[in-house]
Amino acid sequence: MMKNLSLPLLLLVTTVFFSACADKSRRAEIEARKAALAHKQDSTLEATQRQLAVIDSTLEVAKAEHDSLHAWVMSHSTKLNDQSPEVIRLNALRARRDSLQIEWETLGAKIKYIRMKKDSL
């Protein structure tokens, strides 16, 4: 009778021991993943901020160039038509400005999202 009881007891003790070891390794794995996620968020945030700074500078130049040419085209609008080189250039500058503005807004939203996710950890 004792031999029959000791085998299930041995199996139970062994199972509990291995479960405890597995639990510790899972916790360590979770902590390692959290640390890796924090590192990835930090590096992505830094890269996005650098990219936003470049886009911001480029956008300011594009806005100034567009506004300058827009003022000139409006002051000479009676002499120009839709196919005038200045009007075509103004339209191209407007498209570039708008594209940069969208990229600027997208990067800003990405930065906000990363910060929100970092705060929730």
Query: pLDDT tens across 51-63, in order?
Result: 999 999 999 999 9
| Predicted local confidence at residue 24, as pLDDT | 73
| Predicted local confidence at residue 57, as pLDDT | 98
What region does 80 belong to: left with phi over 0, alpha with psi -120 to 50, or beta? beta
| Predicted local confidence at residue 119, as pLDDT | 86
Query: In this structure, what token pair is assigned to residue 79?
Result: 């002499």
Which residue ranges make up each domain of the chain? 2-120
Query: Highest-confidence range of 27-31, 77-81, 94-98, by mean pLDDT?
Result: 94-98
Range 2-120: architecture per CATH? Orthogonal Bundle (1.10)
Least confident of 18-22, 42-46, 84-88, 101-105: 18-22
- Could you tell me the pTM of the whole model? 0.71
Q: How many CB atoms lie within 10 A of CB 68?
A: 12
Mean pLDDT score across all residues of the chain: 88
Burial zone of 50 (CB within 10 Å; 0-12 exposed, 13-18 middle, 19+ buried): exposed
Residues ≥6 apart with Cβ < 8 Å to 96: 62, 66
